[in-house]
Structure 1
């Protein structure tokens, strides 16, 4: 087993993945959001923008750990990107699909801590509108898909669950950091 730790943040849109990740990086510079490869259009901040040919080359080499399509784009978690992220510190991977969690945990050996960030649908709607998203309806459809995904996987085990309407981002970050410290201590014992 690799002695590298990584964090997977799972949750619907506007559940706080970006905000909690920012709080984690303020808490300790070892944390950094994993920048997925994005093929498509729209928001480029927080992504490594790529071309369809680049994605095909990664797929042909067996280097796509997980890919999904949403909002008319393809988002990929790739082995070379993960290698770089682990070399730099503790990657924080954002996911909205249980299949993505399983693909990552099974497909890239590391000590993954899986965290469920949750908020009610109406909070996603309020947060999305509040930050000026032009695609709030699509984000609500993604919230619905996330709820269905959770319902379809009732046995999914979470290392930590955080209600982001009750926990401040810095508190959630502290809980995640403590979880990783406990896991590291248990692994070295």
Structure 2
């Protein structure tokens, strides 16, 4: 088991990945959201904006751990970005694809805690509209894709499952923090 601990938050759009990550960073400054490299347009907050040339360079060096395309953009988890994130503390990586989890767990050596954050489709719609998203319809398509992804991978193993319509962001953060403390204790000599 690696001494580097990281958190993967998996779930559909508006399940609470950003909100739970914010609660984690309030709980402890060692947590920080991993800023994926984004090649495309639109929202830049929380991303490292990049170019197709940068993506090609990462691919040529074998430094792309996982990449996916959604909303017309390409989102990249890269080894140099992960190296920097681990040097700073405990990265919290947001994913919406089981294949992304597998690629990250298999492709970057660390002690990854995988957390399923879930909410019903209606909660995604309500939260998306409530926060003023202009692409709620696309987020509901992504919710459907996440549900299909889960159904297609019934053997996916979660270290923790949280229904974000029941657990508050602060309670979710405490559960995740406790999980990491348990895993660190189990790994201690």
**Could you tell me the TM-score, scaled by structure 1's length?**
0.99
Distance (Å, rounded) in 1 between the aligned partners of 2:76 and 2:85: 14
Q: After TM superposition, give the deviation of residue 2 of structure 1 in Å.
A: 2.6
Map Cα deviations across residues 65-92 of structure 1 (whole Å, 9 max, x no partner): 0000000000000000000000000000
Q: Distance in 1 between matches of 2:41 and 2:160?
A: 33
Instruction: State the Cα deviation string for residues 100-140 of structure 1 (Å, max 9, x = none).
Output: 00000000000000000000000000000000000000000
Superposition deviation, residue 163 in structure 1: 0.1
Gaps of 5+ in 1: none
How many residues of Structure 1 are paired with residues of Structure 2 in the alignment?
Answer: 189
2:115 aligns with 115
Structure-2 separation of matches of 1:37 and 1:2: 24
Inter-partner Cα distance in structure 2 for 1:6 and 1:45: 21
Deviation (angstroms), 1:179: 0.1
User: Which TM-score applies when normalising by structure 2?
Assistant: 0.99
The match for 1:175 is: 175
Cross-structure match for 1:4: 4
Aligned to 1:106: 106
Cα RMSD for the two superposed structures: 0.5
How big is each residue's C-alpha offset from its partner over 1:125-160, in whole Å with a ceiling of 9 and x where there is no partner? 000000000000000000000000000000001000
What does residue 155 of structure 1 align with? 155
Runs of 4+ in structure 1 over 6 Å off = none
